[in-house]
Amino acid sequence: MSKRDFLSTADLGRSELDDLLDLAARAKGKRPGQVLGGKTLGLLFFQPSLRTRVSFEVAMVQLGGHCINLSSDDLYELEPRDQAVMDGPAEEHVKDAARTLSRYVDALGIRSAQRAGSWDRERQELLLRSYAKYASVPVINLETSFEHPCQALADVMTMRENLVTLKGRRLTLLWCNHPEPKSLGPTHSILQMAALMGMNVTLAHPLGFEVDQDVLDRSKKLAQDAGGSVQVQNDMDTAARGAEVLYARSWGCTKYWEDAEREAMVKRSLQGWRVDEKLMATTDNALLMHPLPVRRNVVATDAVLDGPRSVIYDQAANRTHVQKALLMQLLK
Amino acid sequence: MSKRDFLSTADLGRSELDDLLDLAARAKGKRPGQVLGGKTLGLLFFQPSLRTRVSFEVAMVQLGGHCINLSSDDLYELEPRDQAVMDGPAEEHVKDAARTLSRYVDALGIRSAQRAGSWDRERQELLLRSYAKYASVPVINLETSFEHPCQALADVMTMRENLVTLKGRRLTLLWCNHPEPKSLGPTHSILQMAALMGMNVTLAHPLGFEVDQDVLDRSKKLAQDAGGSVQVQNDMDTAARGAEVLYARSWGCTKYWEDAEREAMVKRSLQGWRVDEKLMATTDNALLMHPLPVRRNVVATDAVLDGPRSVIYDQAANRTHVQKALLMQLLK
Amino acid sequence: MSKRDFLSTADLGRSELDDLLDLAARAKGKRPGQVLGGKTLGLLFFQPSLRTRVSFEVAMVQLGGHCINLSSDDLYELEPRDQAVMDGPAEEHVKDAARTLSRYVDALGIRSAQRAGSWDRERQELLLRSYAKYASVPVINLETSFEHPCQALADVMTMRENLVTLKGRRLTLLWCNHPEPKSLGPTHSILQMAALMGMNVTLAHPLGFEVDQDVLDRSKKLAQDAGGSVQVQNDMDTAARGAEVLYARSWGCTKYWEDAEREAMVKRSLQGWRVDEKLMATTDNALLMHPLPVRRNVVATDAVLDGPRSVIYDQAANRTHVQKALLMQLLK
């Protein structure tokens, strides 16, 4: 079976990741031409998207291909459960949508980051995994609550552009306050990919905002194998001190995954978890990263987001380049 | 006047249909190249769509052309009635939308399968016919409650691929249970097109789910001229017995077209109208067809939909190929 | 700084306008080929659109480029205010959206004609101006409540096709009744552009429907410099008499900008402000223009809209051609 999906950072080993980043760097330097002429990528968005949508569409267009965008507004409800007796609201089974789309397009991207009950259920990525199971063309994860591997690719590319080598470099992944519960996808993905690159990662968050245990365990193992480390820190100031990269991002509380009000209550005392110039001054002249969209002056201040060490737009721009490399590898 | 629409199966005579199917088979075997380079097809969806939307967009892209997709969300309300004093909610007349779009695109596709009052009104396909009347470019019916001719083209192509010749073959169009009232479009279109091909068609449904009388009369006449037949059967088991093709699909009750609750009540006793392995075993090793989306384990069981005689995904895939042929004939 | 926006009719001097119209005429006569191959135009629609959306997409496709369309449905809420503490509903700042999109696409078009408080606030075009401020690629105004310069380009092109020279020709811009308060964009833009061309413009409306004072003052100045004139007339019949072009269009009352009900009440006695054959007969065989969508038999009767002097579809069609010229100038 030749089908190859990109659902998780775990789908890439270290040498494959290096190859992909090298290809992305070459594609950024010089457009590869119409290498995907006549190919189509179907994108299904079950949540709003700016960067993912536009960066994939631009990537395909510049490679000579074409994107077909479907949002949940264009579609009826889909049933993900096997053997369901479909007498409810769902008009079509994911099985049939995936198999049908596989006859039309050359690859499928799925964004499905909506809350779906408890964290135990959420972490199974049911809708994405169901598409991947039934599609006969490559399926790309455009973000779930559990992983956002395309973002992590762009993040690693951006760090390599600035730091050249990543092994042993000090990256702090910093939880920040936010008015709403957020996906853990970007955090989980950069945590694992930075570990794979052998970085020394400090994962910093208030008590109660632990990431998924399996992801943390896997990251520690990956880091160890690659000569780096992963440690958890619950004090913001300690975590930021000496960092070479400060990666800000909020994420939701998995324990209260179904109870947004309780999370909001907990966060009332956490408004100090925010990146400002004072915090940046304690780092080792760190790069400031964030996957966007960012709540300005809540997650981080205007001064640091617009400051000289911010690479937030490079992260966004590099989405196009890493995705070109990914699409070339999956579709050529 | 050179404009040619494709609004109904009646727009194609037998030899034109044969030509179109031959062209579709060639286009499936080998991509025709950029024969529609620079051409644009405007698609207007007043209901959700997966297959129609993606199969047309892929067809245009692979022929070098481009689709512009508009949904009712992108638009304000449109007025279809001539001479209307437009002081109500409608912001633009269909006349003006159709004439304007005709100055931009090379062809227009319209999906308008929403219930619009009584069956007598519905069967007039007011919105589609209004676009066709005022557009100066070819208009394609992407499904109304009355006809879905593009689906029927793909169905006939799929039957030809499997049965080689269709004349005299036994096709059973089987009404199935469904939680909602459905369009009669796919049924009306395949009924007439199968009749045109000289098949021996059994139209099977419970009492009360009669198709449109004019469509039935026309089908009988077409079948007679082509050496086939059309008969109605109200017993499911009798209808399935000996069939070479079993085409499952639900459709709504035209008598209670404005009363979905009454239809639902009637259907409570009709849950046995469902395709399963037992029913399939009584056929002459029939192909199982359905135009999708399908309510699994309501309309037909997983076992038969995923079984060896199911060609439901071929039907969907062939949409692209018949539509390529159609677009080449209308636009080249 | 090489970035060039097209936000307002004021962005074009007379000789630039002449050049652009000449280029549009050539592009209409013969397609310029794939001069924008590989280029992408991002279109953001915060209101429904038919003509703007399709005419831009067709223009890009025929020039070898590509449009990426985003509507407010595809996006979360955006924050336009600088220094905002973003703990409300807005998920992203316009600054970040504009800067990110600038890394993906080659130009941006923004439609933002939604009411945003008082007229004093509305006329500042906050959302559009915020995109233009932060984007590093050219930004095109796809209509605000204050200006619709792309429509005016098409209007002037249409008048030139019919009248050959515009200097000294008598254009009446006629307010018409309409069930809803409408944008002043098309009126402001054609008023200023016709003045720039040296036409003799009569701006006709009931008392209370004055256009923006700054726009009127600027128009008078432009007309004077170009050998034309701008006068205001509150009597419909006097305004229409002897006109060579009658340009019908409703617009909202700026004084009651936040009070649609009060405007509706005022308009009850203004239903006579409507173009019909009787009014047309008093003109100098005037062309009838309207930017569409038009409320038939409210703003103007079917007889005149479908009559021999109506050029409403030419105006719409010319959108593609002027926009091709604009895109070539901004992007080549």
Closest residue by Cα to residue A322 from A74, A84, A149, A190: A149
pLDDT at B233 over 70: yes
Average pLDDT of the residues of chain C: 95
Instruction: Identify the residue with better confidence: B332 or A142.
Output: A142
The pLDDT value given to residue B116: 72
Indicate the residue of B49, B293, B302 with minimum beta-carbon distance to A83: B302
Compute φ and ψ for A86, nearest 5 degrees: -90, 65
Q: Which residues of B touch C (CB under 8 A)?
A: 38, 40, 42, 66, 68, 70, 73-76, 79, 83-88, 91-93, 95-97, 99-101, 103-105
**Cross-chain Cβ contact C296/B93 below 8 Å:** yes
- The pairing of strands A229-233 and A245-249 is unpaired
Give strand pairing partners of C108.
C42, C139
Output the pLDDT for position C113.
Answer: 67
Residue in C with minimal Cα distance to B43: C54
Mean pLDDT of chain B: 95
Nearest to A287 by CA among A96, A158, A140: A158
Q: Which residue of A has its CA nearest to B177?
A: A87
Write the ipTM.
Answer: 0.95
- Rounded Cα gap, residues A224 and B13, in angstroms: 72
User: Which of these CATH numbers, 3.40.50.1370, 3.40.1160.10, 3.60.21.10, 3.30.2320.80, describes B9-148+319-331?
Assistant: 3.40.50.1370
In percent, how much of chain B has pLDDT > 90?
Answer: 91
Q: Are A207 and A187 in contact (CB under 8 A)?
A: no
pLDDT 10s digits, B88-101: 999 999 999 999 99
Other chains touching C, judged by 3 or more CB pairs under 8 Å = A, B
Structure confidence by residue, pLDDT tens digits, B129-141: 999 999 999 999 9
Place of tokens 């629409």: B5
Q: Is C104's CB within 8 Å of A55's CB?
A: yes
Cβ within 8 Å, pair C292-B96:
yes
Annotation: CATH topology of A152-315: Rossmann fold (3.40.50)
Q: Do residues C240 and C283 touch, judged by C-beta distance below 8 A?
A: yes
Q: Cα angle at B322 between A92 and B176, to 5 degrees? A: 35
With beta carbons under 8 A apart, name residues in chain A contacting B179: 87-88
* Contact residues on chain B for C298, CB-CB shorter than 8 A: 85-87
How many Å lie between the alpha carbon of B330 and the closest alpha carbon of chain C? 19
- Every domain of chain C with CATH number 3.40.50.1370 lies at 9-148+319-331, 151-315
If you count residue pairs, one on A and one on C, with CB atoms under 8 Å apart, how many are there? 81
Q: Which residues of C83-95 are buried (b: 16+ CB within 10 A; e: fewer)?
A: ebebeeebbbbbb
- Cα–Cα distance, B67 to B42 (Å, whole number): 6
| Mean pLDDT of all residues belonging to chain A | 95
The reply to whether residue C57 touches residue B70, judged by beta carbons under 8 angstroms, is no
Give B-chain residues touching C30 at CB under 8 angstroms: none
Residue B252 CA to residue B209 CA, distance in Å, equals: 7
Q: Which chains touch B (3 or more CB pairs under 8 A)?
A: A, C
The closest CB to that of A73, out of B51, B73, B312, belongs to B73
Give pLDDT, residue A2: 55
Predicted pLDDT of residue B73: 74
Residue A81 neighbours by CB under 8 Å, 6+ apart? none
Q: Residue range B278-293: average pLDDT?
A: 98
Residues of A in contact with C40 (CB under 8 A): 57-58, 61
What pLDDT does C1 receive?
A: 41
Nearest to B297 among A86, A91, A100 (CB): A86
The minimal CB distance from A58 to the residues C79, C91, C104 is found for C104
DSSP strand pairing (A78-79 vs A170-175) = unpaired
Contact yes or no for C100 and A49 at CB 8 A: no
* Chain C residues lying within 8 Å of A143, measured CB to CB: none
CA-wise closest residue to B243 among B301, B187, B318, B163: B163
Q: What percent of chain A has a predicted confidence (pLDDT) above 70?
A: 99
Which among A71, A75, A93, A137 is the top mutation candidate for probing chain B, defined by the most B β-carbons within 10 Å of its own β-carbon? Answer: A93
User: What distance in Å separates residue C176's CA from the closest CA in chain A?
Assistant: 36
Digitized pLDDT (tens) for each residue of chain A, 332 residues in all: 457 999 999 999 999 999 999 999 999 999 999 999 999 999 998 888 899 999 999 999 999 999 999 887 777 888 989 999 999 999 999 999 999 999 999 999 999 866 778 999 999 999 999 999 999 999 999 999 999 999 999 999 999 999 999 999 999 999 999 999 999 999 999 999 999 999 999 999 999 999 999 999 999 999 999 999 999 999 999 999 999 999 999 999 999 999 999 999 999 999 999 999 999 999 999 999 999 999 999 999 999 999 999 999 999 999 999 999 999 999 98
Q: What is the pLDDT of residue C108?
A: 97
Confidence of residue B281 (pLDDT cuts 50, 70, 90): very high
Phi-psi region of B129 (alpha: psi -120 to 50; beta: other; left: phi over 0): alpha
Instruction: Name the pLDDT band for B1 (thresholds 50, 70, 90).
Output: very low
Structure-token match 């192909």, residue found: B287
Chain B residues within 8 A (CB-CB) of chain A? 31, 45, 48-51, 53-55, 57-58, 61-62, 71, 73, 179, 292-298, 302, 312-313, 316-317, 320
CA distance B240 to B202: 9
Q: Are A4 and A135 in contact (CB under 8 A)?
A: no
- CATH superfamily to which C151-315 belongs: Aspartate/ornithine carbamoyltransferase (3.40.50.1370)
Per DSSP (E only), the strands in A17-64 are: 40-45
- Dist. CA B144–CA B185, nearest whole Å: 6
Instruction: Please state whether the peptide bond connecting residue A179 to the residue before it is cis, i.e. omega within 30 degrees of 0.
Output: no
Predicted pLDDT at B3: 77
Supply the DSSP string of A240-283, one letter for each residue: HTT-SEEEEE----STTTT-HHHHHHHHGGGTT--B-HHHHHTS
CB < 8 Å to B55, chain A: 104
Cα separation of A224 and A226, whole Å? 5
CB contact under 8 A, C297 and B92: no
Q: Are strands B78-79 and B66-71 parallel, antiparallel or unpaired?
A: unpaired
Q: Hey, are the CB atoms on A85 and B296 less than 8 Å from each other? A: yes
Residue A298 is nearest to which of C66, C87, C101, comparing CB atoms?
A: C87
A253, A294 in Cβ contact below 8 A? no
The contacts of residue C219 (CB under 8 Å, 6+ apart) are: C191, C192, C195, C201, C230
Task: Let me know the angle formed at the C-alpha of B189 by B185 and B190, rounded to the nearest 5 degrees.
Answer: 120
CB pair distance less than 8 Å for A87 and B179:
yes
Q: Find the closest chain A residue to B178 by CA distance.
A: A87
Select the more confidently predicted residue: B48 or C51: C51
Q: Which residue has the tokens 């769902």?
A: A90
Where do the DSSP E strands lie in chain A? 40-45, 66-71, 78-79, 92-93, 107-112, 139-144, 170-175, 200-204, 229-233, 245-249, 287-289
Q: Which of B43, B93, B96 to mutate to test the interface with C (most CBs of C within 10 A)?
A: B96
CATH 3.40.50.1370-classified regions of chain A:
9-148+319-331, 152-315
Q: Which residue of C has its CA nearest to A296?
A: C86
Residues of B whose CB is below 8 A from A95: 296
| 8 Å CB contact between A250 and A184 | no
Question: For residue C103, which residues of chain A lie inside 8 Å, CB to CB?
Answer: 313, 316-317, 320
Task: Tell me whether residues B53 and A38 touch, CB distance under 8 A.
Answer: no
Neighbours of A20 (CB within 10 A): 20
Q: What is the pLDDT along chain C (332 residues), one digit of tens a residue?
A: 457 999 999 999 999 999 999 999 999 999 999 999 999 999 998 888 899 999 999 999 999 999 999 887 777 888 989 999 999 999 999 999 999 999 999 999 999 866 778 999 999 999 999 999 999 999 999 999 999 999 999 999 999 999 999 999 999 999 999 999 999 999 999 999 999 999 999 999 999 999 999 999 999 999 999 999 999 999 999 999 999 999 999 999 999 999 999 999 999 999 999 999 999 999 999 999 999 999 999 999 999 999 999 999 999 999 999 999 999 999 98
Say whether A295 sits in a helix, a strand or coil. Answer: coil
- Give the closest residue to A200 by CA, choosing from A224, A170, A172: A170
| pLDDT > 70 fraction of chain B, expressed in percent and rounded | 99
Of C66, C96, C105, the CB nearest to A292: C96
A279 Cβ contact partners less than 8 Å away, ≥ 6 residues apart: A236, A237, A240, A246
Distances (CA, A) of B241 to A126, A303, B204: 40, 77, 11
Nearest-by-Cβ selection for B85 from C48, C293, C297: C297
CA distances from C136 to B5, B220, C90 (A): 45, 66, 22
The nearest CA of chain C is from the CA of B304 a distance in Å of 38
Is the omega angle on the peptide bond into residue B293 within 30 degrees of 0, that is, cis? Answer: yes
Q: Report chain C residues whose CB lies below 8 A from the CB of B66.
A: 57, 61
Report residue B113's pLDDT band, with 50, 70 and 90 as the boundaries: low
Which chains, if any, share at least 3 CB pairs under 8 A with chain A? B, C
Tokens of A315: 């992260």
| Cβ atoms of A208 and A253 closer than 8 Å | yes
CB contact under 8 A, A312 and C96: yes
Name the DSSP letter for residue A72. Answer: G
CA quadruple C189, C195, C198, C200: dihedral, nearest 10: 110
Residue A31 identity: R
Q: What's the pLDDT at C144?
A: 95
pTM exceeds 0.80 for this model? yes
Residue of chain A nearest C72, judged by CA positions: A48
Angstroms from C309 CA to nearest CA on chain B: 16
Quick check: B84 and C296 CB within 8 A? yes
| DSSP class per residue in B11-37 | G--HHHHHHHHHHHHHHHHS---STTT
* pLDDT at residue number C225: 97
Considering only the beta carbons, identify the residue of C50, C53, C62 that sits closest to B38. C62
Tell if the CB–CB gap between B298 and A91 is shorter than 8 Å.
Answer: no
Tell me: the pLDDT tens digits for A244-288?
999 999 999 999 999 999 999 999 999 999 999 999 999 999 999
Distance from CA of C51 to the nearest CA of A (A): 21
